[in-house]
Amino acid sequence: AQSVTQLGSHVSVSEGALVLLRCNYSSSVPPYLFWYVQYPNQGLQLLLKYTTGATLVKGINGFEAEFKKSETSFHLTKPSAHMSDAAEYFCAVSDRPGGGADGLTFGKGTHLIIQP
Amino acid sequence: DVKVTQSSRYLVKRTGEKVFLECVQDMDHENMFWYRQDPGLGLRLIYFSYDVKMKEKGDIPEGYSVSREKKERFSLILESASTNQTSMYLCATTRQTTYEQYFGPGTRLTVT
């Protein structure tokens, strides 16, 4: 069984500062890793994904994440925060295409707050 | 673009009522999912369907049932709503050969 741990239920950064949201996973097989963003009262939108190949993955809105197998981590970063980045961010892992009966396993989410 | 729609954005029901939440997708995806989202708990899988009339229980199926009579439509049923089922419900879809899931906008259900 896989699991995801997101460190920090709330992260606050100043506008223009670096954003770093931490995600660690456990999986018995090579994982497929995702970051989703959820704006208030909306569904989840895929930010980026890692399946195979390059370990540094670029996504939408200037976000990127790096898969580090040795650290079992998939941290999300953005060089310069913008007010519009304020949202809930979810890290997720899957061990197979289509999700299967386990679906995606999600972390509990990190609420990103941007200070003006 | 994949489009996943859910029948209601907000819903208020009384304890004991039968509640239907409907999800429709337009991309011919085989797999469909119902998740429940609660603060501090993330998303938890209620049910999964991989084909018409086929379903599997997720992590928290108690108090819920599902129906998939057509490929594009996946319904979540609360047979007798209770206050502890007040939550945000999210539908998602994917192909069996791909990894990422596509989510609907969610239904915020309040049971009073």
Residues B88-100 have pLDDT tens digits of 999 999 887 777 8
Instruction: State the greatest distance between any 2 C-alpha atoms of chain B, in Å, as a whole number.
Output: 41
Residue A30's pLDDT band (boundaries 50, 70, 90)? confident
Chain A residues 33-92 with CB within 8 Å of chain B:
34, 36, 41-46, 49, 51, 90
Residue B2's pLDDT band (boundaries 50, 70, 90)? low
Flag whether residue A10 sits within 8 Å of chain B, measured between CB atoms. Answer: no
**Distance between alpha carbon A58 and the CA centroid of its chain, in Å?**
12
Flag whether residue A111 sits within 8 Å of chain B, measured between CB atoms. Answer: no
**Of the partner residues A32, A42, A45, the one whose CB lies closest to the CB of residue B99:** A32
Residue range A62-73: mean pLDDT, rounded: 94
Residues in Cβ contact with A54 at an 8 Å cutoff, skipping those fewer than 6 apart: none
Cα–Cα dist B91/A75, whole Å: 26
Do the chains contact at B42 and A90, CB–CB below 8 Å?
Answer: yes
Strands A10-14 and A110-115: parallel
CA angle B32, B38, B41 (to 5 degrees): 95
Residues in Cβ contact with B62 at an 8 Å cutoff, skipping those fewer than 6 apart: none
**Of the partner residues B31, B42, B100, the one whose CB lies closest to the CB of residue A109:** B42
DSSP A72: T
Flag whether residue A30 sits within 8 Å of chain B, measured between CB atoms. Answer: no
Structure tokens at B109: 């259900």
Residues in Cβ contact with A19 at an 8 Å cutoff, skipping those fewer than 6 apart: A11, A13, A63, A76, A77, A78, A79, A81, A85, A112
Residues B5-59 have pLDDT tens digits of 999 999 999 999 999 999 999 989 999 999 999 988 889 999 999 889 999 999 8
Flag whether residue B25 sits within 8 Å of chain A, measured between CB atoms. Answer: no
Cα–Cα dist A34/B28, whole Å: 22
Amino acid in the structure at residue B45:
L
Structure tokens at B72: 């594009």
A-chain residues near B97 (CB < 8 A): 97-98
Residues A9-24 have pLDDT tens digits of 999 999 999 999 999 9
Chain B residues 32-61 with CB within 8 Å of chain A:
33, 35, 40-45, 48, 50, 56-58
Strands B54-57 and B64-70: unpaired
Cα–Cα dist A116/A82, whole Å: 9
